[in-house]
Structure formats: structure tokens, C-alpha cells
Copies of this chain bind each other. A is one copy, B any other.
Amino acid sequence: MSAPHEKKDTPANFEEVDQIDLKIMEVLQKDARITNQALADRVALSPSACLRRVRDLETRGLISAYRAQIQVDKMRSVTIVMAHITFSQHTIKNLHDFDACIETLPEIVESYRVSGNVDYILRVVVPDMHAWKRIMTVLVNGGFGVEKIVSHFLMDQIKTFKGYKLIQKPGD
């Protein structure tokens, strides 16, 4: 899948974006439902030019989705777990099957492969601890070679995700 005879080992050639693109994404990160007109004003472009850029950012995959941020905990009791998974056997098949299993469980809302002692970090949102126990059972007994799971239960979300820092201000 990778290009042959690469000089540098920076594998992906990055998508080119200019300052206006960054500004557009910065605005849409904070308010995805802004009208195209208002967005065009903010970035000092005509609405049609602005829309073309937005569509382009979408097709290039730089904007991958627009999502409403839901506060689930305001309507029901939830327990959130950061789970650390360690494997005993890191076969490709095991990891692949594990990924596929995780994909089927909507309670596991995020999954990262990490370096170091821990192999995976999962973010899990469940109604209660019992639901988490059931999912743990699936992960441990699924035949993926999971050695152990360490669970960190969330007490408080102090800083919620509000977007990435896209534009470097002078003085950073």
C-alpha cells in the first residue's frame, strides 16, 4: 500500500491547507451549524468561494463529520471507564479480531493502540458498572489473547473536547 522508493520516511504526504482553510475549520470546530454566509464573512470570502472550500475540505477528508455534542449525563446516569488492555500474545490476527469486536460494541466509544506496557486504551460509556463487567467478560473471554484489563473510573470531566489548536498564534 505504501509508495515504493520513498526518500523520506514521512509516509503520508499531507493535504495542503492555507490560512483561510485553517480559519474555516477553526470556526466550524466551534460552531458547525453556522450559516455559510456568516462563515464567509468570518473568513472574508464570498459565500460561493467559501462553500467551495468547505466542500473541498470535506471531500479531502480534513473535515470528516459534523456532530452534535450530546451531554448524556444530563439525561441519565452513566459511568465512564478508561480501560487499559494488555495482551499476552500480540499476533496480528488477535489484534485484528479484537478491533473487529470493539467495532461491534457501541458502548466502546473510542479505542487507541498505544506504545509501552499497555496495548490498548478504550473509552467506554455504560449505564452502570455491571454493564462494564459484562463487556469486560466479552473482551477477556473472546479469545483475543487479552492478558489483563485495568479500569479507571471517571469521577469528573474537567476539560471537554472543544477542538484542536489549528492556527499557530505568534508567540507559541
Interface, chain A (partner B; CB < 8 A)? 10, 12, 14-17, 25, 28-33, 60-77, 80, 82, 99, 102-103, 106-116, 118, 120-121, 123, 125, 152-166
Contacts and interface: CB of A to CB of B under 8 A. Distances in A.
Contacts of A70: 25, 29, 62-64, 163-164, 166
Contacts of A33: 32-33, 66
The 7 closest A-B pairs by CB, nearest first: A28-B68, A111-B159, A32-B66, A106-B165, A113-B156, A111-B158, A114-B152
Contacts of A77: 10, 14
A14 B76 contact: yes
Contacts of A156: 112-113
Nearest to A114: B152
For this chain, the copies found in one complex come to: 2
B114 A74 contact: no
Nearest to A108: B159
B115 A152 contact: yes
Contacts of A125: 164-165
A68 B25 contact: yes
B15 A75 contact: yes
A155 B31 CA distance: 30
